[in-house]
Amino acid sequence: MLSSVLHSPRAVQVNIAIMRVFVHLRKLLADHAEVARKLQEHDAQIQTLFDVVRRLLNPPTASPKQIGFHVRERRATYRVQAR
């Protein structure tokens, strides 16, 4: 590229440096793509985890059940004796 036009040792060195930078960038992008892919795989699991934590932090407000035994009877009738 550059060295084929300029025909100098410095142009060859710059061309080599440019190629090394492109190789390094491609490697970085590949590594980050792998990390991004792994995060996407775990995205559903992470979402489920957050949903569970939200439910634990905000429990439903239900009326508490009464404990014990409650008997419901008819009201007793009392007679008042006349004197």
Residue 63 CA to residue 74 CA, distance in Å, equals: 27
* CA-to-CA separations, 21 to 8, 17, 31, 65, 77, in angstroms, rounded: 20, 6, 15, 70, 101
Query: In tens digits, what is the pLDDT along the chain, a chain of 83 residues?
Result: 556 677 788 888 888 898 999 898 888 878 887 777 777 777 888 888 888 888 888 877 777 777 777 777 877 777 777 76
pTM for the model: 0.39
